[in-house]
Amino acid sequence: YSKDGHWRTVVGSKRKRRGIAYIYRSRDFKHWVKAKHPVHSKQSTGMWECPDFFPVSLTDFRNGLDLDYVGPNTKHVLKVSLDITRYEYYTLGKYDLKKDRYIPDGNTPDGWEGLRFDYGNFY
């Protein structure tokens, strides 16, 4: 639950071979509305399963952060399982709360070249 009065969740999808993550918002936890645009997508990665999207502090490692926190010394992590490769990858970047857009850092690979979350097969 965030300061703007919404619950948020991220859902994985695909369009043709483009992997997609959508943000859905709800005020009552019953009726959900999909954001106008994907929070992030990447061509030729296939279905994005089990997405996870969260902020991490670059300075305070003891306390968690709300999903909508976009303050200083913060990065957001987008982790997805790629159906085609059956591995989990993640990127680090910034989340624009007003536009519901996630932009990976320029030095963080995205897609199959991305950072591996683990080396198991799926999930």
**Burial label, 114 (beta-carbon count in 10 A; 0-12, 13-18, 19+):** buried
Task: Give the Cβ contact number of residue 41 at 10 Å.
Answer: 18
Domain boundaries, the chain: 7-116
Count how many Cα atoms sit within 13 Å of the Cα of residue 57 in the half-sphere of its side chain: 8
Q: Which amino acid is at 82?
A: L
Whether 106 has a pLDDT exceeding 90, the answer reads: no
CATH number of 7-116: 2.115.10.20
Reported confidence tier of residue 98, pLDDT bands at 50, 70, 90: confident
**Beta pairing, strands 74-82 & 48-57:** antiparallel
Query: Taking the model in full, what pTM does it have?
Result: 0.85
